[in-house]
Structure 1
Amino acid sequence: MTYQVAVAGASGYAGGEVLRLLADHPQLDVVAAGAHSNAGEYITAVHPHLTSYGSRRFTPTSPEAFAGADLVIMTLPHGQSAALAAQLPADQKIVDLGADHRLEDAAAWEAYYPGPHAGTWTYGLPELPGQREAVAAATRVAATGCYAVAAILGLRPLLDAGIAAADDVVVVAASGTSGAGNAPKKHLLATEIMGSMSAYKVGAHQHVPEVKQASGATSLSMTPLLAPMPRGIIATVTAKPTADATAADVRAALAKAYDGEPFVQVLREGQWPATASTYGTNVALLQGTVDKDSGRIVVTSAIDNLGKGAAGQVVQCANLMLGLPETAGLTVNGVAP
């Protein structure tokens, strides 16, 4: 059976990646690719790499344009999804990549985002305990933030296994520039980022409450870095152990948590994640150890911020919501060199 899907925010990087994945999906057809300022333009004028959409144009981002869709994927900026969702039929399935409906705590939302809290939807990270079934049963799903995916997948198994302290977690993560969207900004010019890395939103990144909510951490310090690469995230998560822990204990906790998971791979001992290995995929690569000097647990994870951190994640959730094979239209094999 084939289902019809509409994409809101299809002119952005994440929206374009959703269109790319859906173009080759065996059971999902794009019936509308919504955009605001680009409405009416050919899709290939914005996404020239999507040649299979050569005759297609962007539609307005409106309830009327999405009326015939079985499922709507939203890749709009934070704070814009809730208004559109409120105009769609209550029984129309939605996966929202924005942050509007991720947080359970209204106070946490108000501390990190402008505007009122729009409520809470089912959290869209299927690899968490119980979430696969919850996503499959849901009509409205809030997909995970890109940094949050990398951090949560590395941290949650440590806390579930009881080998790491929830009140002493540090995350340092670097993202490619596509994570900042495609709006023209001076700090994203090639002359500003080539040969340079920089920290931003230090001590106040909006994914902190999401990571805490989904992982069980109670105190989290997060430092995001902008890396001179177009896509990818590599995150290093460190935590104080609750007792003497070995590298084998860390690896065992990760292996137990993700045994049989199609999109999370714990690498062989001695092999460490690299962003290039994840390009174009929906895979998360993990490795863990214990720091020889401090004794802190260290887990490194790598994802494609536009894949497992965005478009791949929403397609994975859409598959579950529509009763399709979870892996349909998605790959764990990257592109090299």
Structure 2
Amino acid sequence: MQVMRAAVAGASGYAGGEILRLLLGHPEVEIGALTAGSSAGTPLGALHPHLTPLADRVIEETAVEVLAGHDVVFLALPHGHSAALAAQLPESVAVIDCGADFRLRDEQGWTTFYDTPYAGSWAYGLPELPVGGGGRQREALAGTSHIAVPGCYPTAVSLALAPGYAAGLLSGEDVVVVAASGTSGAGKSLKAHLLGAEVMGAMSPYGVGGGHRHTPEIEQNLSTASGPGAAGVRVSFTPTLAPMPRGILATCTARLLDAASGTDAAGIRDAWAMAYADEPFVHLLPEGQWPSTASVLGSNCVHVQVTLDERVGRVVAVAAIDNLTKGTAGAAVQCMNLALGLPETTGLPMAGVAP
């Protein structure tokens, strides 16, 4: 098989560095241009010393002429920066965008939560997402040339709850999510509230009161799982910052539909087990074992557990991911594999790093 040349725009950041870590182990990819903004001219090893095989590579300016001669370009850029660059790249280049620019199908959802013009939507890169009425989101990804990688929180939350919506078990009202993320989810820019002295030994909420930008994406995904004709899903989402570099733990609850009120905990578990039985990266844990961010560190896997709080008629689903791997870079490589006709699991780690 012909080796694909891949470029990474935004190689200086956490997401860009994680994409490069995974591509170094990908047997069908040759790493081409590495680009960034203010870091142009800097050796990669000064920014990502852990990427030893690429340490001497010099970061170039992010420009169309630098990126155009590749089979695939990963855009690991701040939100609002991908659309203009992507529009200038040749149609022959597969573009995998790790930003938010093309994730939302609803323009109003974008303009409500973001401060840049709506750029439209691309194929949404969450292959495992059940689609109401049958099928998976991966069917929209094979052979496509433009893919929007999901946000990290939406990945965890959507995969935690989607089986219940696909099975017609959950109400779209009164969905409550509280999720904790490591500090790398905020990017690499210096911010006072992310200093070690502020984060160590502390947890704090942010984006409280429905203001987090991932809210419409989560609602879009769960509504997709519900299928056409079902009522839309509304989510109360509260993110929190945890004193760890990587990882997301999402605790998600939703009421049972009245029509599903006779479903017991075993029936709930069966729905999740059926949904993910053939998914290589989504693992429903044995009963009684709950997800931990430490168990998925460095892997492209999602650990999920689900139960029923029978007293109040609510399903409780918990998911753990590494926000930089399955939450961003691993998803990007997974989507690239589908877009280029490679086996979906190629080059992606199944095992985490412990302790």
What's the TM-score once normalised by structure 2's chain length? 0.93
List aligned pairs for 1:52-63, cutoff 5 A: 52-63=53-64
Structure-2 separation of matches of 1:130 and 1:277: 26
Structure-2 separation of matches of 1:180 and 1:54: 24
What's the TM-score once normalised by structure 1's chain length? 0.98
Match of 1:199 among 205, 224, 228: 205
Q: Give aligned pairs, total.
A: 337
2:19 is matched with which residue? 18
Is it true that 1:67 corresponds to 2:68 in the alignment?
yes
What is the Cα deviation at residue 244 of structure 1?
Answer: 3.1
Partner AA of 1:213 in structure 2: Q
1:264 is matched with which residue? 282
2:308 is matched with which residue? 290
The superposition leaves residues 26-80 of structure 1 with CA deviations (integer Å, 9 ceiling, x where unpaired) of: 0111101111111111101000000010221111111111121101111111111
What is the Cα deviation at residue 168 of structure 1?
Answer: 2.0
What is the Cα deviation at residue 91 of structure 1?
Answer: 2.9
Match of 2:240 among 213, 225, 241: 225
List aligned pairs for 1:122-133, cutoff 5 A: 122-128=123-129, 129-133=135-139
Q: What is the DSSP-based 3-state SS (H/G/I as helix, E as strand, rest coil) of the residue aligned with 2:219? A: helix
Is it true that 1:162 corresponds to 2:168 in the alignment?
yes
The superposition leaves residues 256-285 of structure 1 with CA deviations (integer Å, 9 ceiling, x where unpaired) of: 111111100000011100000011000000
Q: Which moved more, 1:292-301 or 1:120-129?
A: 292-301
1:152 is matched with which residue? 158
Structure-2 separation of matches of 1:130 and 1:247: 25
2:92 is matched with which residue? 91
Q: What is the DSSP-based 3-state SS (H/G/I as helix, E as strand, rest coil) of the residue aligned with 1:166? A: coil
Structure-1 separation of matches of 2:54 and 2:35: 14
Q: Is the 8 A contact 2:143 2:340 kept in 1?
A: no
Note the aligned Cα RMSD (angstroms): 1.0
Structure-1 separation of matches of 2:342 and 2:91: 21
What is the Cα deviation at residue 132 of structure 1?
Answer: 1.1
Structure-1 separation of matches of 2:308 and 2:136: 29
Is it true that 1:325 corresponds to 2:328 in the alignment?
no
Structure-2 separation of matches of 1:291 and 1:145: 28
- Where does the alignment leave 5 or more consecutive residues of structure 2 unmatched? 130-134, 224-231
The superposition leaves residues 190-249 of structure 1 with CA deviations (integer Å, 9 ceiling, x where unpaired) of: 110111000001121111111111111521100000000000000011000111332212
Is it true that 1:178 corresponds to 2:184 in the alignment?
yes
2:221 is matched with which residue? 214
What is the Cα deviation at residue 292 of structure 1?
Answer: 4.5
What is the Cα deviation at residue 22 of structure 1?
Answer: 0.5
Q: What is the DSSP-based 3-state SS (H/G/I as helix, E as strand, rest coil) of the residue aligned with 1:170? A: strand
List aligned pairs for 1:307-326, cutoff 5 A: 307-326=325-344
2:145 is matched with which residue? 139
The superposition leaves residues 299-334 of structure 1 with CA deviations (integer Å, 9 ceiling, x where unpaired) of: 000000001100000000001111111111101101
2:228 is matched with which residue? none
What is the Cα deviation at residue 254 of structure 1?
Answer: 1.0
Partner AA of 1:64 in structure 2: E
Partner AA of 2:45 in structure 1: T
Structure-2 separation of matches of 1:323 and 1:62: 27
- Where does the alignment leave 5 or more consecutive residues of structure 1 unmatched? none
Q: What is the DSSP-based 3-state SS (H/G/I as helix, E as strand, rest coil) of the residue aligned with 1:212? A: helix
What is the Cα deviation at residue 147 of structure 1?
Answer: 0.0
Is it true that 1:105 corresponds to 2:112 in the alignment?
no
Match of 1:190 among 187, 192, 196: 196
2:48 is matched with which residue? 47
Q: What is the DSSP-based 3-state SS (H/G/I as helix, E as strand, rest coil) of the residue aligned with 2:353? A: coil
Q: Which moved more, 1:319-328 or 1:223-232?
A: 319-328
